[in-house]
Amino acid sequence: MARSGLPHGPLTASCLHLCVDMQRIFAEKTEWHTPWMERVLPVVTRLAEARPGQTLFTRFIPALRPDQAEGAWRRYYERWSSMTLEALAPGMVDLVAPLARLTPPAEVFDKGTYSAWQDGTLHSRLRARGIDTLVVSGAETDVCVLATVLGAVDLGYRVVIPTDAICSSSDRTHDALMTLYSERFGQQVETAKAEDILGVWR
pLDDT-based confidence at residue 4 (cuts at 50, 70, 90): very low
pLDDT at 53 over 90: yes
Q: What was the pLDDT predicted at 182?
A: 82
- Give pLDDT tens digits for 145-200: 999 999 999 999 999 999 999 988 888 888 898 888 888 888 889 999 999 999 99
Q: Which CATH architecture has domain 2-64+92-199?
A: 3-Layer(aba) Sandwich (3.40)
What are the residues facing 138 on neighbouring strands? 20, 166
Q: Is the confidence at residue 109, as pLDDT, over 70?
A: yes
Phi first, then psi: give them for residue 170, nearest 5 degrees: -130, 115
- pLDDT in the model for residue 90: 94
- Average pLDDT in the chain: 93
State residue 187's pLDDT score.
83
As a whole number of angstroms, the distance between CA 130 and CA 202 comes to 16
3-state secondary structure of 17: strand
For the chain, which residues make up each domain, given as ranges? 2-64+92-199
Amino acid at 196: D
Helix (H) or strand (E) holding 137: strand 133-139
